[in-house]
């Protein structure tokens, strides 16, 4: 992933897609060079699912949910269940970090192509929890917010793992 927050044009779509791409690439950059053991470790006692691997998996599946399930209206085939709603974070510790990142990057590239072709004012096929059919613009902004928030978690986990800061 290219990591830049400078959009190629000054239109709204370029800004939104560029910032989403930037926060995605930042999440990946925060994982570069981390050991498999550290990527799977949950050092925060109150957050047993908070691992670097789990966060990358979560980001990948959050995008899947909002784009494919909510926006496009496809069947939900995510890894979660009613009994285990955070399963995407739990199973991530069994998958090599490089594989999780590759899956996230491949999916992101497909979604970026899609986001560049749809009208920002088009609405989701499925309503959100409050019954609203959000716009594509809202979905992109939500994904930027979600990814940026979890980048903060990745910052903390990386520093605790090996002292790396400032990525």
Residue 116 placed within a domain: yes
Residue-wise pLDDT tens digits, 146-156: 999 999 999 99
Residue-wise pLDDT tens digits, 54-74: 999 999 999 999 999 999 999
Closest CA to 53 of 61, 45, 17, 137: 61
Residue 16 placed within a domain: yes
Residue 102 placed within a domain: yes
pLDDT at 167 over 90: no
> pTM score, two decimals?
0.95
Closest CA to 56 of 4, 128, 1: 1
pLDDT at 166 over 90: no
Contact 66, 20 (CB under 8 A): no
116-120 long-range contacts, CB within 8 A, separation 24+: 116/13, 116/17, 120/12, 120/13, 120/16
In degrees and rounded to multiples of 5, residue 85 shows phi and psi of -70, -15
Contact 89, 54 (CB under 8 A): yes
Mean residue pLDDT across the chain: 96
pLDDT band for position 1 (cuts 50, 70, 90): low
Residue 3 placed within a domain: no
Q: pLDDT at position 134, please? A: 98
Domain coverage including residue 73: 12-162
pLDDT at 35 over 90: yes
Distance CA 112, CA 125 (A): 19
Residue 2 placed within a domain: no
Domain count, the chain: 1
Residue 138 placed within a domain: yes
Residue-wise pLDDT tens digits, 101-141: 999 999 999 999 999 999 999 999 999 999 999 999 999 99
Residue 5 placed within a domain: no
Whichever domain contains 130, its CATH number is: 1.20.120.450
């Amino acid at each position: 992933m290219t990591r830049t927050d400078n959009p190629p044009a000054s239109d709204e779509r370029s800004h939104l897609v560029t910032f989403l791409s930037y926060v995605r690439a930042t999440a990946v950059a925060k994982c570069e060079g981390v050991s498999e053991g550290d990527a799977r470790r949950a050092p925060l006692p109150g957050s047993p699912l908070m691992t670097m691997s789990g966060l990358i998996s979560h980001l990948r599946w959050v995008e899947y949910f909002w784009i494919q399930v909510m926006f496009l209206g496809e069947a939900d085939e995510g890894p979660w269940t009613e009994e285990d709603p955070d399963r995407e974070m739990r199973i991530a510790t069994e998958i090599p970090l490089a594989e999780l990142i590759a899956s996230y990057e491949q999916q992101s590239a497909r979604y970026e192509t899609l986001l560049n072709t749809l009208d920002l004012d088009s609405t989701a096929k499925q309503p959100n929890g409050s019954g609203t059919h959000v716009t594509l613009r809202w979905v992109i902004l939500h994904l930027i917010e979600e990814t940026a928030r979890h980048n903060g978690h990745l910052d903390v986990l990386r520093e605790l793992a090996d002292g790396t800061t400032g990525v």
